[in-house]
Amino acid sequence: MNTIKTMINATASRWRNRATQQEKQGTGTNEVCPRCGAQFTPSRLSLREMALAAVCGVLLLSILLPAGWVAKQWIDRQEDRFLDHLYWHEPLDPWRL
C-alpha cells in the first residue's frame, strides 16, 4: 500500500515538473513571428471557447449529414432516370406498311 502511494506521488511530481518545463520552453520560442517579426503571445482556449466549438461542430454535422443524405438520394434517382433512357424500347405505334 505504501509503495503504491510512493509511485503515485513520484509520477505526479514528474508530471508537474514536465508540465512546468514545457510551459517555460513554450513561452520563449513562439513570441515572434518568423515571417514578419510581429510579437504575439499564444494563449490556451478557455472552457467557454471549447464548449462553443463543440456546439458549433454538432450543429454543423446535424446540418451537413442530412443534406449529404438528401443529395445522395437525388443523385441516385438522377442516375436511374439517365440509365432508363439508354435502353431501346419498342415503339408504341404499330408500324404497318
Res 97: pLDDT: 54
Cell numbers linked to 93:
405505334
DSSP 30: S
The pLDDT value given to residue 9:
81
pLDDT per residue rounded down to tens, the chain (97 residues): 677 778 888 887 877 777 676 655 554 455 777 788 788 776 788 899 999 999 999 999 999 999 999 999 999 888 877 666 666 666 666 666 5
Instruction: Return the amino acid letter for 66.
Output: P
Domain positions in the chain are 1-43, 44-88
pLDDT given for residue 5 in this prediction? 78
